[in-house]
Amino acid sequence: MNQSGKKATGILNPLAFLEREFNYREVSAWKDFVRIDQSFIRLAFVLHFLVYFLLLIPEIRDSPRGGIYFGFILSLNILSLVLSFQRKYLPAVIHGTNVTITFLIMMVLNESFYSFDDLHSLQLYNNYFLLVGFLVLFQMFRLKVKGCLLTAFYSIVLHLGFTYFKLKDGPIPGFPLVLLVPDAVYLIMSLIGITIVVIVRRLVHISSELDSDYRFLQHELQIARKVQETLFPEDISIKGFKYEIYRSTPNEIGGDFYDFIQLREGNTGVFLTDIAGHGIASALVASFIKIMVATMPYRLKLHPVRLLEYLDETLLRQFKSHHASAVYIFFDFISKEIHFANGGHPYLMHSQNGNEFREIETTGSILGFGIKRPIAELVSLPILSGERLFLYTDGLIENRNPQGKQLGSEGLLEILNRNSRISDLKQFKDAIQMELFAFFGDAEFEDDTLFLIIEME
């Protein structure tokens, strides 16, 4: 399969060749004028075959030396194509080829329409010179202002020279101004080309600055990610339960956050929050909440409802434009009980001894609005060996697969229950991930996504 793939993208595939040759996705490529000149010559070689459509004109087809001139044009383009594979003297190659080809095309036109009897027939002959204007405009692909001006200059000189010798011994006296129309077109084409070149180079400059800023921000975000990673708990062993974690963010940093709070007498608190939105602002608020949870009075860490109310009041006071959902679980290994409160977060999912998972429906308000007191109800469960708790953020169930379908809490429950009898916690997590990847396919998570599985020992 690899060999066939190489053949498909080889030189025999014109589309693959052009895509590889004119790949200017990187901003730096637009500043490499030697490479641009090389691409210009190769593109000119491909497009020069359009010149041969002039042979459709009977007068040109019947010209006695037309074949010789077109042969010279082909030879010059082949020679310039060969010379394009080196990096020296490319401007000289381009202008030397252009002025020679322009001269040869004008020679073909001159000899094909040599005889004329009146001004009308002379104008018809003269109008064919308008075709040279495309050679002037084509120079804009080099992204050089001088290229358009220089091509227009020698095109005008050559045209005036041919027109002069045409009128010198002809039946029409004087020099009718209408014969200057091609020269005006050359100037207009050069001005259009120059304008396009100036605009493109300006856009390249702006893109270069934006690219530089983007790289700087990416570097800063990578540092911020490393800093944020230190805020998450390390892979530690906690007496009383085992856990597995999955976390994904579309940006370098995100607003989904969890923490294990080591309490006295071997008790443990588990805190999980989802800051509204995602990105830098959400990550900063998540970091602020981490500090709040770590520094709040110890007594609040023993009461899930009070802990959430403390966060609600602080967020309302400090961040009026930000809010969050959160769940806090207090594992009391002395009384063998689990106490938790849910502040506007997706329902916690619970399973006992390999039985089916079910949602524990609770009432509670989003943090940061000061909606009600108490902010959430307190739910208590006995600690049973082997029971599992599944906590997650809404990015998991609200993301859409390539067909536009959301997983939803019902879909998540189905996945959990299909794998609920897997006894090993790591294998259970891997099986869930496999099913999630099968559902979402190539679709990336658009929001911060996190889930935490806890299994009581």
Residues 341, 196 within the same domain: no
Of 154, 179, 213, which one is at a domain's C-terminal end?
A: 213
- pLDDT at res. 188: 94
Residues 248, 181 within the same domain: no
Q: How far apart are CA 400 and CA 407, in angstroms?
A: 7
- pLDDT at res. 338: 95
The count of domains in the chain is 2
- pLDDT at res. 52: 87
Residue 111 lies in a domain: yes
DSSP 8-state code for residue 385: T
Amino acid at 302: L
| Tens place of pLDDT per residue across the chain (457 aa) | 444 444 444 445 656 666 666 677 676 777 788 888 888 898 888 888 888 888 888 888 888 888 898 999 999 999 999 998 888 889 999 999 999 999 998 888 888 775 566 677 777 777 788 888 888 998 888 888 888 999 999 999 998 888 887 777 666 666 677 778 889 999 999 999 999 999 988 888 888 888 788 788 777 777 777 777 777 777 788 889 999 999 887 776 777 888 999 898 889 999 999 988 667 777 888 888 888 888 899 999 999 999 999 999 998 888 777 788 999 999 999 999 999 999 999 999 999 877 899 999 999 999 998 888 899 999 999 999 999 999 999 889 988 888 889 999 999 999 999 999 999 999 999 999 999 989 988 777 777 888 999 999 8
Residue 393 lies in a domain: yes
Residues 306, 365 within the same domain: yes
Pairing of strands 358-360, 378-382: unpaired
Q: Which helix (H) or strand (E) holds 381?
A: strand 378-382
Residue 355 lies in a domain: yes
Residues 52, 173 within the same domain: yes
Residues 342, 399 within the same domain: yes
Residues 64, 199 within the same domain: yes
- pLDDT at res. 6: 44
Residues 156, 275 within the same domain: no
Residues 206, 258 within the same domain: no
Residue 13 lies in a domain: no
Residues 363, 394 within the same domain: yes
Of 184, 213, 242, which one is at a domain's C-terminal end?
A: 213
Whether the Cβ atoms of residue 247 and residue 256 lie closer than 8 Å to each other: yes
Of 183, 213, 243, which one is at a domain's C-terminal end?
A: 213
Distances (CA, A) of 403 to 99, 400, 442: 57, 7, 11
- pLDDT at res. 56: 86
Q: Which domain holds residue 286?
A: 232-456
Give the bridge partners for 407, in sequence order: none
Residue 341 lies in a domain: yes
Residue 22 lies in a domain: no
Residues 248, 188 within the same domain: no
Give the bridge partners for 272, in sequence order: 258, 327
Taking residue 121's Cβ as centre, other Cβ atoms within 10 Å add up to 13
Whether the Cβ atoms of residue 428 and residue 390 lie closer than 8 Å to each other: no
- pLDDT at res. 11: 46
Rg (CA), the chain: 37
Residues 43, 170 within the same domain: yes
Residues 202, 242 within the same domain: no
Amino acid at 341: A
Residue 259 lies in a domain: yes
Whichever domain contains 422, its CATH number is: 3.60.40.10
Q: At what angle do helices 90-112 and 66-83 cross, to 10 degrees?
A: 170
Residue 6 lies in a domain: no
